[in-house]
Structure 1
Amino acid sequence: MRNIATCYSEHAVRVSDSYCSGPLNKSYISPKSNPSIQNVVSCTYKTHISNQKRLYVTISWCSKMICQGFFIKISEKIPRENHYQHGFHQLPKIKGTKSLQDFSSDLKKKLSITVHWDLSAADFEAGPEPIRGFYIVVLVNSRYALVLGDMEIDPALKDLVDGLVLPKVTLVSQCEHYKGQWNSEISSKAKFSEIGVEHEIMIKCWQEEDGPQSPVLSVYIDKKRVVRIKRLQWNFRGNQVIFVDGLLVDVMWDVYGWYFDQTVGGFNSNKGGCGFIMFRTRSGLDSRLWLEEEENKLSDQNLGKPEFSLLICATQ
């Protein structure tokens, strides 16, 4: 899949209005809509194992119908691949310890990587990601790289890692995949900054007064509508700026597959293609959408890159 921001640089319908949950704060949720089913969640964390060494650890959770357990990848750059592509290792057991050598092809040298995990008492809600009663501990070169969960670590593991210093870990990106009808509600949660609060996000696409050929895409944050896109048959790609927690956030959408995926019939069929909605914060130095080349260059310099992104993929 091409980088979503690159598509916008060539074909985007630019929307210049910027608001702070102001003119579109009317809350409306159709009672006839059914929620989409979340089946994959991938979270990428930035961690420092030393003053000079920065790594990205991606954890992908899948519904039990797809697989059991989780996938993990460690990289020196933010991965752009999906959960099933190269570099990911599946850890299918409920509890265990696994050592992984020569972990990823994009690492410049081999690292000693060990993963300890326990999902035996994990508590799940609607999605594939556990919310409590589990832990994942990743050690790189005998240093903490990532600690997730709220469950007490096994005594044997605690003795192994006792005295190690926990690194600063930041969630830099999150990718969620949903399955449902094109007019299903998509509900998610996200924090757009480390010091911000968690916000409820709802995405809804339904038909308004213009008829069945002109559905409207709306985005709600904390039950307030902040984005409303009409005539999606023309505005199937675009972006709009909103303010959240004092931050500029680009909301980008690409629902071309919902309309023009001829292999499955589009809106007039019982099936349809895939739509993408991305939320991405801008850094203080940024004044426009990033192109992939610019983002990679500044990422290497650790300057001006987006701090957090949430990508939602909706497949019919």
Structure 2
Amino acid sequence: MRDFPSCFGENGVQVADFSSSSTNKSAQNLVTCVYQCRLGGRSGLITVTWSKNLMGQGLGVAIDDNTNQCLCKVEIKPWLFSKKRGSKSLEADSSKIDIYWDLSSARFGSGPEPLEGFYLGIAFNRQMILLLGDMKKEAFKKTSASPVPSTAIFIAKREHIFGKKIFSTKAQFCNNGQLHDLVIECDTTGINDPCLIVRVDSKTVMQVKRLLWKFRGNHIILVDGLAVEVLWDVHNWLFGSSLGNAVFMFKTSLSAEKLWASQALSDPHMSHCSWSQRFRDSQSQCLGFSLILYASKSE
């Protein structure tokens, strides 16, 4: 989370130091997911990183407590040279952490994150605190963890994507949210007045004209009835080197004022009561979720 972009003010997004690590092709094949969890009687964060390069596919897990102290960090080497199923046990802060995985039957799309046929389980003192994948029954059979469903909350995702003028990915905008087709379109080659378009499930939800003047900004859209703030920074696409990134952030943690402002963008006839309820629902279901996309122009 510490190297995620930081957003300031109403007019733009300032990006943390990401360009040096994401100008090579290997960095574009990373997906990082962050989950808030319970570590006994305290809160913590689990960061799961899926990677893909010429050597194969890999997996990294890091667990931090509520003071940002790293309790453990495990890197599983590319699967070309290691087992596609296995486990690791560690001792940290007088606690036992067990990590179990089985990706022997995993199915992948174009990215490094498995789509189905896998599980990744993390147990803290024999209690499952995070369980990913569609093979949950198999996961509990292989572990000695208590068969209590994990209460981890998906709070952030960072992904590297690339294309020439169209950048696409699968995205959800809150914990346990519906999976959507997300497309960002921007042609900056030989165009005097480039335009930025964002589509969700083939529907245009945002269009930014005069991009040379509005290369940084923010806008509010509606997805699944929830207000989502979109922040963009395409400065490197327009004025930087050919290897530069653009960055996009989709946030569901909105202030009430911004939610009221988005009313005019969606339905000017929606009642104040309806928006109050929708704001309470969005806060209770999806508080604090962020999707961050680093988009690189391919040659």
Tell me, yes or no, whether TM beats 0.5: yes
**3-state DSSP of counterpart to 1:259:** helix
After superposition, residues 136-155 of structure 1 pair within 5 angstroms as 136-151=120-135, 152-153=137-138
- Pick from 202, 223, 235: which aligns with 1:244? 223
After superposition, the C-alpha distances for 1:275-296 in whole angstroms (9 at most, x for unaligned) are 101110025x54359xxxxxxx
| Contact 1:95–1:117 under 8 Å retained in 2 | yes
Q: CA deviation at 1:89?
A: 2.8
After superposition, the C-alpha distances for 1:181-240 in whole angstroms (9 at most, x for unaligned) are 3x2x221222323464322211110269xx613221100011111111122222111000
Amino acid at match of 1:197: Q
Q: 1 CA distance for matches of 2:154 and 2:182?
A: 17
**3-state DSSP of counterpart to 2:187:** strand
Which residue does 2:9 correspond to in 1? 9
Q: Looking at secondary structure, tell me which structure has more helix per residue.
A: 2
Amino acid at match of 1:130: P
How many aligned residue pairs are there? 253
| Contact 2:33–2:48 under 8 Å retained in 1 | yes
Q: Which structure exhibits the higher relative contact order, with contacts defined as CA atoms closer than 8 Å and separated by 6 or more residues?
A: 1
Q: 1 CA distance for matches of 2:232 and 2:196?
A: 9
After superposition, residues 43-82 of structure 1 pair within 5 angstroms as 43-50=33-40, 52-65=41-54, 68-76=57-65
Which ranges in structure 1 are unaligned for 5 or more consecutive residues? 14-36, 80-85, 103-108, 265-270, 290-301
After superposition, residues 147-296 of structure 1 pair within 5 angstroms as 147-151=131-135, 152-153=137-138, 157-158=142-143, 160-161=144-145, 163-181=146-164, 183=165, 185-194=166-175, 196-206=177-187, 212-261=191-240, 264=241, 271-283=242-254, 286-288=256-258
Which ranges in structure 2 are unaligned for 5 or more consecutive residues? 14-26, 260-282
After superposition, the C-alpha distances for 1:237-295 in whole angstroms (9 at most, x for unaligned) are 1000112222211000011121232xx3xxxxxx2301101110025x54359xxxxxx
| Contact 2:234–2:247 under 8 Å retained in 1 | yes
Q: 2 CA distance for matches of 1:205 and 1:41?
A: 22
Which residue does 1:296 correspond to in 2? none
| Contact 2:216–2:232 under 8 Å retained in 1 | yes
| Contact 1:191–1:197 under 8 Å retained in 2 | yes
| Contact 1:259–1:272 under 8 Å retained in 2 | no
TM-score by length of 1: 0.69
Amino acid at match of 1:233: L
Q: 2 CA distance for matches of 1:180 and 1:188?
A: 11
**3-state DSSP of counterpart to 1:258:** helix
Q: Looking at secondary structure, tell me which structure has more strand per residue.
A: 2
Q: 2 CA distance for matches of 1:66 and 1:255?
A: 31
Structure 1's consecutive aligned runs of 4 or more residues displaced over 6 angstroms after TM superposition are 302-305
TM-score by length of 2: 0.73
Q: 2 CA distance for matches of 1:246 and 1:221?
A: 13
| Contact 1:49–1:167 under 8 Å retained in 2 | no
Q: CA deviation at 1:157?
A: 2.1
After superposition, residues 82-93 of structure 1 pair within 5 angstroms as 88-92=73-77, 93=82
CA RMSD, Structure 1 to Structure 2 (Å): 3.4
- Pick from 74, 85, 98: which aligns with 2:88? 98
| Contact 2:159–2:292 under 8 Å retained in 1 | yes
